[in-house]
Structure 1
Amino acid sequence: MHVIASLVFFIFPLSAAAGAVSSPDLSALIPNDAASLLAFKTSADLDNALHYSLTERFDFCQWRGVKCAQGRVVRFVLQGSGLRGSFAPATLSRLDQLRVLSLQNNSLSGPVPDLSPLSSLRSLFLGHNHFSGPFPASIVSLHRLRVLDLSFNNFSGLLPPSLTVLDRLDTLRLEWNRFNGSLPPLNQTLLGSFNVSGNNLTGPVPATETLSRFGSSSFSYNPGLCGETVNRACRSKEPFFGGPPAGGASVPAPLGQSAESQGAAAIGLSPPLVSPKKHKKTGIVLGFTVGVLVLISAVAIVFALIKARRNKSGDESRSIGPKEPSAIAPDVAEPPPFSAVPIQKPVMEAKGNVEEAPPRVQRRSGCLVFSAGEPELYTLEQLMRGSAELLGRGSMGTTYKAVLDNQLIVTVKRLDANKTASTGEEAFKQHMEAVGGLRHPNMVPVRAYFQAKGERLVIFDYMPNGSLYNLIHGSRSARAKPLHWTSCLKIAEDVAQGLGYIHQSSRLIHGNLKSSNILLGPDFEACLTDYCLSTLAAEGSTHDHEDPDSWACRAPEARKSPTRAGPKSDVYAFGVLLLELLTGRHPSQHPYLAPPEMPGWVQAVREDHDGEDHRLGMLVEVAAVCRSASPEHRPIMWQVLKMIQEIKETVMAEDSNA
C-alpha cells in the first residue's frame, strides 16, 4: 500500500535543478540541450510538475516529454502537463535540432520569445495557454514550419503579411485571440486546416484559392470581416456619386491626379467652365441609360412571374400525382424528407450494395456541417455515393468505412435515431460544435456532422491500424496473449492524455470508454473515438441490448442513471481498461477482488511476467484506485496521468542505474 500512497499524494523528491544550472562547474559538465531544458523549467514550471533531476548517471533524453535523436533533442511535448509560468528567452530556442514543440493546454503566460534559432522546427503547438503580446514575429522565419497553433490565447495586434512566406504550412490555427486588422492573402497550397474565428479582424477576406476552400466557420466571430466567403457584403467607404462636402470643404483630388496639379489648385487656379452643350450631351446620355435600365427591369420581372407560375403548377401536379418509389430505399413506403440523399435508408449498408441518388432530385433540408477550421473537402452527396463497408455496431449506432470518389477514406458513425430522439436539433448542433472543436494527438478528430429529420451522422478520420480491442484479443480463434507491460504503460499514457484533455478543456466526458472505442494511429498511438456521444442518448436507452463488456466498463453510478455520469465515471472505465490491457481478459471476465488481491490475480493470468512483479504491481494499483466503487474515492484524470508518468520515470531511472 505504500506505493498507492506515493501515487496518490505524489510524494517524490525533486532535486534542485535550477540551482544546479547556475553552478558554473556543473553547467560545464552537462550537455547544452539539458541545460536549455532546465533553464526552461526554471521559469515555466513554478509548481514543480516536472521531475527533472541531475544525478551522476542521468540521461536527459529520458525526461518526460523529451525525445532525442543521436543525443540531441528533436521533440519536446508537454501538453497538459500542469505548467505555470513564462516562456523565458534563450531557453528552448537553443535546441537547434528541435522539430516538434508542444506546450499546449497549460497555464503559460507572457510573450513568446524569439524562436528564430529553431530552424528545423516543423510543428509548434502553443494553444490553450495565456500567452499575450503581438504575433511572435520570429515565427515567420521558420520556413520549415508545417503546423502552427496559437489558438485560445491572448495575442493581439496585426497579423504579419509575411505569414504568406510559410509555404509549407498545412495547419494554421489562430482562433480565439485578439488579433485585429486585415487578414493576409494566404494562398499556401498545402493548407488543410485553418481557423481565425473569435478575433477582431476587419475588412474583406482575400479571395485566394486557398482561403476560398474554407467555410464561414473558419472566420466566424469576426464582426468586421466581409466578403463572399463569410456571406457578408463589404461596404464602400465613399459613395461613387457623392456630392460636394458641406461647408465648402475642399474636394479631394481625383484618383490619379498629380501632386503638381494639386498644388496649382491650392494657389487659386479656377476649374475650367463647363459649356451648356456638354451639359446637354450629359443629359441625353443619362436619359438613355435610365431608359435601358427600366426596360431590363421590366423584362426581368416578367420572366420571374412566368417562372414562379410554372414552379407552382409543377408542385401542384407532383402533389396530386402518384409518388415514385425511391431508387435507394425500395423498402421504404414514402420518400424520405431529405430528398437528395434518402437518409432514412442510407447508402451505407454493405460494400457492393451502393447506388447513386437520382440526379434530378435536389436537396431540400439538412446539410453537412464541417467542424471549425476544417476544409470542405466533399459534399453530402459525395459521401453518400461512396462505397461503404460495415465496421461494427455499438451502443450508440453503426460505424462504416466510406471510400469517396476522390479516394478519400473516412469513418461514418450513423447514430441510432431511437436513442438520440430526445435531443433536439439545436441542442445536437451546439453539442457537435463543442465536440468538433476538440483537438488532441490522442483523439480521432471529428471532421463533420449531419442531421436531417430523424437522421444523424458523425464523420471521423479513418484509422487503418484497427482498434485496441483487436490488438488485445486478436482473432477469435487464437488465444489472447497479454501485451508486454511496457506496451500497456504506453497505451495507458496515451489514453490518459486524451481523457485528461477532454476533462480539462471542456465540460464534456467520453462516456463510453472501452477498448473497441480506442483506435491505433499511424504510429500505433492510442486515439480515443466515439467520445462525448453517449450524452445525446435518452435516459436508459444506451443500456438496451448492451453487451456484457460495455456494461462492465460503466461506473456504478452510470449504471443506475446515465445522467449521473461524470468525469469520475471515465476514470472508472479507465481502470477497467487498464486491467484489460494487463490481463488480456474481457471486462466481463474480471473478478470482483479487493485491491490487495488484484496484483496476484494479474500475475497469475499473465503467467510469463518475466520477473516484472514490482512494475506490474504499480500499474495494478493505479487500476485499483480508479475502479473504486465510490466516485469520491477515485482520483481525477490529470492525477491518474501523473501517476502513470511517474511510474514511467521511476522505471527509466531504475533501468539507467541497472
Structure 2
Amino acid sequence: MQKPRKPPLQLLSFLLSITLFSPSPLILAAPAFDSSLPSDSLQLLAFKSQADLGNSLRFSLNKPVDHCHWQGVKCFQGKVVRLVLQGFGLAGVFGPNTLTRLDQLRVLSLQNNSLTGPIPNLSGLVNLKSLFLHHNSFSGYFPPSIPSLHRLRTLDLSYNNLTGPILPGLTRLLRLYSLRLEWNRFNGTVPPLNQSSLHIFNVSRNSLTGAVPVTVILSRFETSSFSWNPGLCGEIIHKECNSRLPFFGSSEAASPPAVLGQNDLTQGVVLPPPSPKKHKRITVILGFSVGVLVLIGSLLCFVAAIKKQGKQRVPTPTMDSDSSAIAVMRVEEEKELEGKVKKMEGIQVGKSGSLVFCTGEAQIYSLEQLMRASAEMLGRGTIGTTYRAVLDNRMIVGVKRLDAGKTAITSREIFEQHMESVGGLRHPNLVPLRAYFQAKEERLLIYDYQPNGSVSSLIHGSRSTRAKPLHWTSCLKIAEEVAQGLAYIHQASKLVHGNLKSSNVLLGTDFEACLTDYCLAALADCSSDPDSASYRAPEIRESSIRATSKSDVYAFGILLLELLTGKHPSQHPILIPADLPNWVRSVREEDGGEETWLAMLVEVATACSLTSPEQRPTMWEVFKMIQEIKKTVTMEAASTGLSLSY
C-alpha cells in the first residue's frame, strides 16, 4: 500500500504556527469600514465584526449612519453612554480596540452571551460606572485594567472561566457598590476590601485560599459570600486557619488575622509592630483624665458581653443573576446626586460600653483597645485636638478629642442625637464618623485616618517652601469634590458644615478631597479662632449667630480664591468684585491659555462671597456651575487635541 505523502516542511511549519500561537478561537482582523463614520460608530462596528459571528446585531449602515438608534445603544449628544447587549447569543470574542474608545460610556452589559477569550484592556473607558460581563465563557486572568476605572461602581464577572488572583488594586475603587466574582476559577487570596460603599459582594465557588482579611466591610457579609472555596479560612467564615497552609509560607504558628483600617487597605500596607528604635514617638494614653481612667475600670465588666455580640452582616442577595443585574443597574441610575440624595432613615446605633458605633458600623474594637492605643498628635483645631491612633490590632484611626473649654455645654442626650445625625452621613467626599465616646466632660470622635494631609498643607507647604498656586486642573478637581460634599450635607441632612476651611479638607487615599469637622460648629463657638475668621460670612461674625447653608457657600467662595491664588484668606486684599479677576491673574502669573476657565471660576467665587446671603447661590447650584466649567474646559481641550487628567 502506498504511504501517504508528508506535507511540505513549509506547510507543516505554517500549520504548527497556527496551532501554537493563534488565540482560540482564531481572531480575525476587523473588516475595514468607512473612516468618515463617527468614532463611536466605528467602535461598535469593530466589536460586532469579532463578537457577533451569528449576525444577530442589526447595525444599519444606511446613510446617514446613526449609531444612536442601533440595538442596545443609548446616546447623549451623539456619544454612546450606555450599551446593553445581553442575551443576543454573541459567540465571538470581545476583541481589543473594540468599544474601548467609548470614552463617555457609563454602562456596558454583555451578560448572557457566549463570548470567549480574554477580556481586553478597558482603561480607555474612563467614565464607566457599571460593567456586566457575567454568564459568558471569558477566560484568562482578572483584567488588569479594572482597578484604573476609578468611577466604577458595579462589576459583575461571575459565571465565566477566569483564573489567576483577584487583583488587590480593587481596594482603590472607592465607589464600588457591587462586586460579583462567583463561579470562576480565581485563586490566591481575598483582597482586603474595605470600601464603605460596598453593599453586594460574592466570591463563592472559586479556588481561593488563605485567611479572609478581617476588615470592617468584609465582616458584614454572610459566609455564603465566601462558600465553596475549600482553602479559605479565618474568623469571618468561622474556620480556623492551619499554619501549614502554603499561604503562611512556614511551619510557625499562624497569627490571628489583623483587623485592617480602610486607609491601610487602599494603600496596600500592613503596619509592622512599632519599633522604639525606628520611631521615637510619644505614647499618649487616650484617657486624658483620671476620671476617664476610673471609668475604664467600671466598663471592663462589659467586655465579655460585648465579645459575644454577633456581627452585623449584609444578607447575600437571593435573586437570580439577571434580575440582580437589572436591580443594580436601576440602583446605579438612582444613585446620581441630582435631586436624589438619600434621605436619612432610622440610624442603628450599637454600643460598646460608652463607645457608640454609628450607622450600623461593625464593632471591631472596644473602648479598652482605644484607651490602650499609642497616639501621635496631628494638630490642634478650632474645637479640639486630633490624633493618629494605632490600636493593638494595628488598625489606624483618627481621633478628635473635643476641648471642653471650647465646646458648648450640652446634655448627654443632645450630644448623642447630634452625633447620630452626623454619623449617618456617608459620601465619598466626607471623612466618615465611625464612633464616638463621652463621659462627663470627655468627648472623643473616631474617624477614618486620612494619610495624605490637608488641602492647606498642599497649597501652602511647609514654612521653608514658598506657597504656589495649584495647577488649574487640581483647582477644578478639588473645587468640584468640596462642592459635592457640601451639597450632600445640605440636602441629605439639612445640617451645615459651619467651619469650612482648607485645613478641614483632607486628601483621601486616592487624593480625593474629603471634608472633615463637618456639622460640629453647633457644638462650639468658632468666632474666636483666627484661622477660621477669614472664612466666616459677614452675617455670622458675631458669636451668637449660628452658621447656615449660605454661610457655608461664602466659606466655599473664599476657599476657591485660596485654591486659585495660593494665598491664605487673611492675605486676600479687599477688592470690589470687578477687580478680583485681575488680582487672581496677577498672582497666578499664567503663561496664557487659561483665561476661560479662570474667569469662570473667579465668577463662581465672586457669587459665593457676596455680602448678602440672599444673593448667594445654593451649594447645589455652585456644584452644577463647576460641573459646567469642567465640561466646557474638557470640550475645548478635546477640540485642540489635548488630554486632560483630573
TM-score for the superposition, normalised by structure 1: 0.54
Which of 539, 542, 567 matches 2:526? Answer: 542
Contact 1:140 1:166 in 2 (8 A): no
In 1, the alpha carbon distance for the partners of 2:523 and 2:295 equals: 26
Matched, 1:454 2:441: yes
SS at match of 1:28: helix
Q: What is the number of equivalent residue pairs in this alignment?
A: 454
Q: Which residue of 2 aligns with 1:513?
A: 500
CA distance in 2, matches of 1:640, 1:398: 32
Quote the Cα distance in structure 2 between the aligned partners of 1:490 and 1:440. 16
Greater fraction of residues in helix = 1
Deviation readout 1:419-474 (Å, 9 max, x if unpaired): 44433222222322332233333222222211111111011222232211111111
How far residue 577 of structure 1 moved from its aligned partner, in angstroms, is: 0.8
The equivalent of 1:575 in structure 2 is 557
Aligned pairs (5 A) from 1:67-82: 72-73=123-124, 76=127
Check if 1:398 corresponds to 2:382: no
Q: Does 1:28 align with 2:11?
A: no
Letter in 2 for 1:597: D
- Whole-angstrom distance in 2 between the partners of 1:142 and 1:456: 49
1:606-645 to 2 correspondence within 5 Å? 606-645=588-627
- C-alpha contact 1:369 1:450 (8 A) present in aligned 2: yes
SS in 1 for 2:291: coil
> Contact between 1:595 and 1:624, CA under 8 Å: does it hold in 2?
yes
Deviations 1:514-539 (A, max 9, x none): 111112223322222112221233xx
For residue 542 of structure 1, what is the amino acid of its counterpart?
A: C
Q: Which aligned pairs between 1:240-251 and structure 2 lie closer than 5 A? A: none
Say whether 1:336 aligns with 2:323.
no
Query: Which entry has the higher C-alpha Rg, 1 or 2?
Result: 1
Q: Partners in 2 of 1:584 and 1:162 — Cα distance? A: 51
1:597 to 579, 591, 599: 579
Tell me which residue corresponds to 1:524: 511
**Secondary structure, aligned partner of 2:526:** helix
Measure how far apart 1:578 and its partner are: 0.9
Mapped partners of 1:40, 1:387: distance in 2: 62
Distance 1:117 1:615, change over 3 A: farther
Residues 28 and 185 (structure 1), Cα distance of their counterparts in 2 relative to 1, 3 Å cut: closer
Q: Which residue of 2 aligns with 1:417?
A: 404
Once the two structures are TM-superposed, the CA of residue 74 in structure 1 deviates from its matched residue by: 5.6
Residue type at the aligned position of 2:409: S
Which letter maps to 1:569? S
SS in structure 1 of the partner of residue 534 of structure 2:
helix
Deviation at 1:374, TM superposition (A): 3.5
Distance across 1 between alignment mates of 2:288 and 2:418: 33
| Residue 614 (structure 1) shift | 2.6
CA 1:50–1:466: 2 relative to 1, 3 Å = farther
% of aligned pairs identical? 47
Preserved CA contact (<8 Å) 2:202 2:225: no
- Match of 1:336, SS state, is helix
Identify if the C-alpha distance between structure 1 residues 63 and 170 changes in structure 2 by more than 3 Å, giving closer, same or farther: farther
Distance 1:98 1:633 in 2: 45
Please tell me the residue identity of whatever aligns with 2:526.
T
Supply the distance in 1 between the matched residues of 2:382 and 2:395 (Cα, whole angstroms): 27
Q: Which residue of 2 aligns with 1:473?
A: 460
2:417 matched residue in structure 1: 430
After superposition, where does 1:91-490 map in structure 2 within 5 Å?
Answer: 98-99=146-147, 122=170, 184=224, 335-336=290-291, 339-341=294-296, 362=300, 367-490=354-477
SS at match of 1:519: strand
Q: Which amino acid aligns with 1:336?
A: G
- Does the CA-based 8 Å contact 1:412-1:459 persist in structure 2? yes
For 1:301, the equivalent position in structure 2 comes to: none
Secondary structure at the residue paired with 1:392? strand
Q: Does the 8 Å contact 1:493/1:641 carry over to 2? A: yes
| 2-structure distance, mates of 1:466, 1:126 | 21
- Partner letter of residue 529 of structure 2? E
2:306 maps to none
Matched position secondary structure for 2:397: strand
Structure 2 residue 522 is matched with structure 1 residue 559: no
Deviation digits for residues 636-657 of structure 1, max 9, x if unmatched? 3333223223322322222222
Paired residues of 2:40 and 2:80 also in contact (CA < 8 A): no
Return the alpha-carbon distance in structure 2 between the equivalents of residues 126 and 477 of structure 1. Answer: 37
- What amino acid sits opposite 1:546 in the alignment? D
Q: Which runs of 5+ in 1 are unaligned?
A: 1-19, 79-86, 129-134, 195-205, 214-326, 342-358
Q: Calculate the TM-score normalised by the size of structure 2.
A: 0.55
Decide whether the 8 Å contact of 1:75 with 1:98 is kept in 2: no
Distance in 2 between residues matched to 1:329 and 1:101, nearest whole Å = 37
Task: Tell me the alpha carbon deviations over residues 90-134 of structure 1, each in whole angstroms, 9 at most, x when there is no partner.
Answer: 99x999864558587xxx9xxx99976797894788899xxxxxx
The letter for the 1-side match of 2:429 is N
**How many angstroms does 1:631 deviate by?**
2.9
Task: Write the letter of the residue equivalent to 1:640.
Answer: V
- Structure 2 distance, partners of 1:329, 1:638, is 39
Which whole-Å CA distance do the structure 2 matches of 1:651 and 1:118 have between them?
A: 43
Distance between the aligned counterparts of 1:458 and 1:394, measured in 2?
A: 14
1:473–1:480 contact (8 Å) kept in structure 2: yes
Within 2, Cα distance between the matches of 1:651 and 1:329?
A: 49
Change (3 A) 1:481 1:362: same
- Paired residue type of 2:294: S
> What residue number does 2:485 align with?
498
In structure 2, the CA distance between the partners of 1:166 and 1:530, relative to structure 1 (3 Å rule), is farther
Structure 2 Cα separation of the partners of residues 424 and 527 of structure 1: 29
2-structure distance, mates of 1:404, 1:175: 18
* Contact in 2 for aligned 1:338/1:453 (Cα 8 Å): no
Contact preservation (8 Å) 1:372, 1:436: yes
Q: How far apart are the structure 2 equivalents of 1:41 and 1:626?
A: 44
Cα distance in 2 for partners of 1:337, 1:416 equals: 15
The answer for the alignment partner of 1:650 in structure 2 is 632
Judged with a 3 Å threshold, the aligned counterparts in structure 2 of structure 1 residues 624 and 70 are, in CA distance, closer, same or farther, namely farther
Give, in angstroms, the shift of residue 360 of structure 1: 9.9
Residues 439 and 612 (structure 1 numbering): CA distance in 2 closer, same or farther, change over 3 Å?
same
Distance 2:396 2:617 in 1: 39
**Cα pair 1:509 1:570 within 8 Å, conserved:** yes
Judged with a 3 Å threshold, the aligned counterparts in structure 2 of structure 1 residues 45 and 74 are, in CA distance, closer, same or farther, namely: closer
Gaps of 5+ in 2: 1-36, 50-56, 60-66, 83-98, 108-119, 242-256, 258-283, 303-351, 641-646
What is the CA distance between 1:605 and its match in structure 2? 1.5
Partner residue, 2:568: 586
Return closer, same or farther for 1:160/1:379 CA change in 2, 3 Å cut-off. closer
